[in-house]
């Protein structure tokens, strides 16, 4: 039996109109880079959230803290992380406020000269308020990439277990949902 056009469209778009990307073929990770990542993972320690955002009342681990912890370990194990801006687009929201959407790619290399042919990418959306928006976007994206690459613990409780799972139920006293994690912004 042949697929009807509707069935084919549902198969290619998950039935909701969203395109299902084809599975990318990820090139093999060179052993030198895999060994270096593993070495950093073994040596890294939890980074405490000692810095405070007084405007939005939450603690965080700064990019400097991440770099101070990660850079010596990467050097020890011969791992080089290069971050490059792949694209940048400014758009406006409903209130006409400018937002910037930046796509960064990461290149993982080893001191031996090996480079992984795969380039992981990360997206970032930030409110465009000047040059600082670009710097904070880059810092936050690099920090989150390193955190995920090396599985760095910061003691955060930002997974869904800390969020209200009854999205249609609101507190009767305040009208706000029960949200127990700290708010983070770019």
Q: Of residues 63 and 30, which shows the higher confidence score? A: 30
Give the Å distances, CA to CA, from 87 to 65, 102, 181: 27, 6, 31
Q: Of residues 141 and 178, which shows the higher confidence score? A: 141
Does 179 have pLDDT greater than 50? Answer: no
Distance CA 80, CA 37 (A): 10
For 85, residues 6+ apart whose C-beta sits below 8 A from its C-beta are 102, 103, 104, 138
State the average pLDDT over residues 134-161.
83
Q: What is the pLDDT of residues 50-64, one digit of tens each?
A: 666 677 777 667 788
State the average pLDDT over residues 156-171.
56
> Which span out of 11-15, 30-34, 45-49 was modeled with the highest average pLDDT?
30-34
* 3-class state of residue 42 by DSSP: helix
State the average pLDDT over residues 37-56.
83
pTM summary value: 0.69
Does 22 have pLDDT greater than 80? Answer: no
Does 146 have pLDDT greater than 90? Answer: yes
* 3-class state of residue 55 by DSSP: coil
pLDDT-above-70 percentage for the chain: 66
pLDDT reported for residue 65: 85
What is the residue-averaged pLDDT of the chain?
Answer: 80
**pLDDT-based confidence at 15, cuts 50/70/90?**
low
Q: What is the DSSP letter of 88?
A: E
Nearest to 110, CA basis, from 166, 33, 51, 2: 33
């Amino acid at each position: 039996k042949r697929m009807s056009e509707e069935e084919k469209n549902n198969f290619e778009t998950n039935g909701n109109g969203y395109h299902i990307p084809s599975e990318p073929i990820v090139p093999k990770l060179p052993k030198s880079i895999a060994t270096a990542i593993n070495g950093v993972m073994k040596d890294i320690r939890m980074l405490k959230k000692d810095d405070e955002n007084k405007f939005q009342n939450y603690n965080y681990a700064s990019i400097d803290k991440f770099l101070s912890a990660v850079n010596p370990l990467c050097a020890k194990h011969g791992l080089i992380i290069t971050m490059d801006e792949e694209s940048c687009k400014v758009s406006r929201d409903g209130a006409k406020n400018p937002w910037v959407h930046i796509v960064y790619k990461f290149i993982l290399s080893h001191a031996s000269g090996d480079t992984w042919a795969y380039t992981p990418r990360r997206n970032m959306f930030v409110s465009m308020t000047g040059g600082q928006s670009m710097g904070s976007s880059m810092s936050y994206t690099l920090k989150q990439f390193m955190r995920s690459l090396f599985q760095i613990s910061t003691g955060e409780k930002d997974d869904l277990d800390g969020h209200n799972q009854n999205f249609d139920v609101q507190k009767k006293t305040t009208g706000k949902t029960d949200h127990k994690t700290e708010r983070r912004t770019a």
